[in-house]
Amino acid sequence: MQNDIKLAFEALCSGGVILFPSATGWLLGCDATNPKAVDKLLAITAGVQNQPFTLLLINLNSIPRYLPTTPDIALDILEMSTKPTIVFLEHPVNIAANLTEGYQNIIGAHVPSDTYSQALLARFRKPIATISANPQSTKPVKQLGQIPANFIQQVQHIASEQYQLPHIATPSILKIDAQNRVQIIQP
């Protein structure tokens, strides 16, 4: 796995877009702090993306660095969740501004538990902006063969299929505003 993580890391550092498996399915991802990398991700998903991006973060302690107005309830939900959970929050900072354009300054926060994502985040040491490899659907992409060919052709690194997880979970998706109002988008 270390060689694949190294190649993904190099692609991220050079402003590229990667395609990799996670506990919530195959994802497209880039350096969330690099506007040019975000532009590449936006170009790949142009016309088909119907949801805000999600920041993959290494742990709960890193969330306030990028989402300083995170309500305690959001951290509590993420900490107690027994399945993958994405919480959409307002007013991110320290990320590329074009990451939230058109999404009312909202972005998702997710701390993945799968080995590949954790190893990649530990190596990269920055948040990774992600979107499903099939952004038109709410169902996770379970196999590399389900990803549109034009997406595959435009990425700078594709993780090996051997890291694909046998069980993919549809994540719970919540939106929490500054007044602690919770909206369940996907249970």
CATH of the domain at 50: 3.90.870.10
Per-residue pLDDT tens over the stretch 91-140:
999 999 999 987 888 999 999 999 999 999 999 999 999 998 876 666 77
Range of the domain at 163: 2-186
For residue 158, what pLDDT is reported?
95
- Closest C-alpha among 121, 109, 102 to residue 85: 109
* Of 135, 132, 128, residue with least CA distance to 66: 128
| Res. 154: pLDDT tops 90 | yes
The per-residue pLDDT for range 13-31, each reduced to its tens digit, is 999 999 999 988 899 999 9
- pLDDT band, very low/low/confident/very high, at 52 (cuts 50, 70, 90): confident
Rounded Cα gap, residues 32 and 130, in angstroms = 8
The whole-number pLDDT of residue 21 equals: 92
pLDDT interval class at 88 (50, 70, 90): very high
| Alpha-helix residue ranges (DSSP H) falling in 68-110 | 72-80
Domains identified in the chain, total number: 1
How does residue 49 score in pLDDT terms, banded at 50, 70 and 90? low
Q: What's the predicted TM-score (pTM) here?
A: 0.93
Angle between helix 115-124 and 2-13 (nearest 10): 50
Q: Where are the beta strands (DSSP E) in 32-120?
A: 54-56, 85-90, 106-110
The answer to whether 18 and 163 are in contact (CB under 8 A) is no
For the sheet with 106-110, list strands across it. Answer: 157-158, 18-22, 25-31, 128-132, 54-56, 106-110, 85-90, 172-176, 182-186
